[in-house]
Amino acid sequence: MVDAKKFLDEIEILLDQLYDSQKDNLEATAQAMKECIEQDGVVHVFGSGHSVGLGIDIKNRLGAMVPIHIMEMSDFVTKGGVPAAEFMDKKNIFERKPNVAGKLYNLYNIKPQDIFIVISNSGINGVVIDIASLAKEHGHKVIIITSMKHTLAEEPRHPSGKKLYEYGDIVIDNCGPHGDALIETSGVAKVCSVSSICNNCIAQSMAARTIELLQADGFELPVLNGDEAHDKALKKKYEGRA
């Protein structure tokens, strides 16, 4: 029987597995974020497709840290000179292309102390792999969020033969199944994907822990608190970077 209750039961089990198996990686990431922010750094977050949701979930809202920068795929067009028609071509999918990510990477004001979080469920597409590779080449710490079950089940698409997780200083497995859909059906395809839900929980729990660590160090928190003057000044401090 496929219904809402079935999904609720299965997602709760999966979230427990996620926490239990990944808590050390989440802690290590929160430590890395804390160190980066204390050195006046910015955390650059990049995910293509639905993976962009992780960054969005912890940005621009009450209780959110300001020194988090979302690298947007659409910046290829709005800032990087890629024609909209090429970017939006549904038969020649842009996120799969190798050797184009430099156009995006070079748009941003990236400083040596910055770190990168790169997210892709499959971890096989060109743009995400090239962003992780570029960040690594430039000496930045790279944190990967991926589905290990999915990425290990698929052939690489990148000319290097590598997958995204191979670039991670820290790798967080979102514990999602191959193909992202969780619930078995009577048909061929499974239904109800989980990566956005797991990634949101990863992002929210990691962000909360980072704030806790910053607070323990007595660092002035770069967190939106709803006070207009405070939030405006904070955004001003990171203007052009986050």
Partner 1 sequence: MDTKRKYFDLIKARLEKAYETQNDKMKVIASMFGECMENLGVVQLFGVKHGEEFVNELNYRAGGIAPYHALRLKDLILKEMIKQEDVDSGEIYNDITVMDKFEEFYKLDNRDMYCLVSYYGTEPLIIEIAKRAKARGQKIVAVVNKAAYDKVGGTLLDYADIWLDMCAEDPDIAMEIGGVKVGQLSSTTTNVIAQMLTAEVYSYYVSHGKEAPVLLSANVKGADVHNNSLTDPYEGRVR
Among 103, 192, 238, 241, binds partner 1 (CB under 8 A): 192
CA angle 151/152/154 to nearest 5° reads 70
Site for partner 1 in 6-25 (CB under 8 A): 6-8, 11-12, 15-16, 18-19, 23
Site for partner 1 in 161-190 (CB under 8 A): 178-183, 185-187, 189-190
User: Residue 175 contacts by C-beta under 8 Å, 6 or more apart in sequence?
Assistant: 14, 17, 18, 21, 22, 147, 148, 149, 198
Site for partner 1 in 74-103 (CB under 8 A): 74, 77-78, 84, 87-88, 90, 93
Contacts 24+ apart (CB under 8 A), 133-137: 133/160, 133/167, 134/101, 134/102, 134/105, 135/44, 135/105, 135/167, 136/167
Residue from 196, 152, 208 nearest 26 by CA: 208
Site for partner 1 in 98-157 (CB under 8 A): 121-122, 124-125, 150, 153-155
Among 39, 63, 106, 138, binds partner 1 (CB under 8 A): 63
Helix (H, G, I), strand (E, B) or coil at 233: helix
User: For residue 206, which amino acid is it?
Assistant: M
Which region, left, alpha or beta, applies to residue 153 given φ > 0 means left and ψ of -120 to 50 means alpha?
A: alpha
**From the CB of 208, what's the least distance to partner 1, in Å?**
5
Measured from the CB atom, the residue of 56 and 100 that comes closer to partner 1 is 56
Among 98, 108, 149, 200, binds partner 1 (CB under 8 A): 200
Site pattern 29..58 for partner 1 (x: CB under 8 A): -x------------------xx--x--xxx
**From the CB of 161, what's the least distance to partner 1, in Å?**
16
Tokens of 144: 């990967």
Contact between 109 and 240 (Cβ < 8 Å): yes
Among 104, 205, 222, 242, binds partner 1 (CB under 8 A): 205
Measured from the CB atom, the residue of 113 and 193 that comes closer to partner 1 is 193
